[in-house]
A and B are shown apart, each in its own frame.
Chain A
Amino acid sequence: MKNLGSVMVAYMIGWGVFFVYFVSVARRTADLRKDVERLKETLTRGK
């Protein structure tokens, strides 16, 4: 089982990068959606 640690690290790095990227895009989208809702409310109130 020589180098099993290297294999595990290689896989964990891969999943880690993809997971962090997925969460960051989801968060950015959720924040922008909130901004859109807030802007829509502001514009409706202004009319």
Chain B
Amino acid sequence: MTAKVLSAAAVVFLLGASAYGAFFVAPNELTMGIVQRIFYLHAPCGMTALAAFMLCFVGNLGYLFKREAKWDWLGVSCAEVGLAFCTVVLLRGPIWAKPAWGVYWAWDARLTSTLVLWLLYLSYLILRTMVDDPDRRALISSFYGVFIFLDVPLVYGSIWWWRTQHPQPVVFTSGGLNPEMRKIFYLSWLSLTALMVLLIRQRYELEAVRAEAQILTREAEAA
């Protein structure tokens, strides 16, 4: 319990530090002004969502090869957490887009593929509610999870492969980002990754307790 409280406190501290950095330390961007500060949460949030979906893919593959429930628990935990991050990206993006582009939404490749990704992982979670048998549910959702992961590289590569309204990456390119801005960006990325790990661990625990409850229910019914 103490370890849990400490890790949650560490995540809150990191999130607070990154918000402080984004608001009070990062320099003002010349073209967009203060609204550019959304970048410090928006871009790392999108990258963290993709990382969670990648872990979901690992969980799905793990289940298909090993047929052990813990891989399925990892898959569903990462899918749900990734969906939470993706929801934040889709809600926050338009708030930045309106002052920057003049419109809330553009049907360009990056935005559309991200919306499709959100819908696909939502359908993954809905699919799981439709199958009662745990083994069958894990097998079907693992196959489906491997299939829908195909959209992740599409989201990532969309800004290179197609002409988009969404800007090109500035973080991993030389001279793309002011060094001070880069530091705040990395701090935000670290804090959101820590939050992702915390949420996945908590969600995984929920799945483990649910499995225990199912076993006990079956025993109680048989007795």
Contact B34 A33 (CB under 8 A): no
Specify which of B19, B87, B99, B212 is in contact with A36 (CB 8 Å cutoff).
B212
B216 at the interface (CB under 8 A from A): yes
Interface string of A7-38 (1 = CB under 8 A from B): 10111011101100110011011001101100
Q: Are A7 and B37 in contact (CB under 8 A)?
A: yes
**Alpha-carbon distance between A2 and B129 when the two chains are bound, in angstroms:** 45
Interface status of B84 (Cβ within 8 A of chain A): yes
Contact present for A17 and B205 (CB under 8 Å): no
Interface size grouping (class) on chain B: 35 or more
Contact B220 A39 (CB under 8 A): yes
Given contacts A25-B199, A32-B209, contact A40 B87 (CB under 8 A): no
Are A3 and B33 interface neighbours, CB within 8 A? yes
Q: How far is the CA of A1 from the CA of B209 in the complex (A)?
A: 49
* Chain B 73-107 near chain A by CB (<8 Å), digits 1 or 0: 00000000100100110011001101100000000
Give chain A residues whose Cβ lies under 8 Å from the Cβ of B84.
17-18, 21
Are the CB atoms of A3 and B91 closer together than 8 Å? no
Give the complex CA separation of A6 and B20 in angstroms. 17
Pairwise interchain contact B38-A10, C-beta atoms closer than 8 A: yes
Q: Are A3's CB and B199's CB within 8 A? A: no
- C-alpha gap A35/B199 in the complex (Å): 22
Pairwise interchain contact B202-A25, C-beta atoms closer than 8 A: yes
Chain A contacts for B23, CB-based, 8 A: 7
Assess the A17–B216 pair: CB atoms within 8 A.
no
User: How far in angstroms is the closest Cβ of chain B from A38?
Assistant: 9
Residues of A within 8 A of B81 (CB): 21
What would be 22 A-B contacts, judged by CB atoms less than 8 Å apart?
A2-B33, A3-B33, A6-B98, A7-B35, A10-B38, A10-B95, A11-B19, A13-B92, A14-B41, A14-B45, A17-B88, A18-B84, A21-B84, A21-B199, A29-B202, A29-B205, A29-B209, A32-B210, A32-B213, A33-B209, A36-B216, A39-B219
A4-B34, A18-B199, A32-B210 provided; 16 other pairs, C-beta below 8 A? Answer: A1-B34, A2-B34, A3-B33, A3-B34, A6-B38, A6-B95, A7-B37, A10-B95, A14-B45, A17-B91, A18-B84, A25-B199, A26-B202, A29-B202, A40-B216, A43-B223
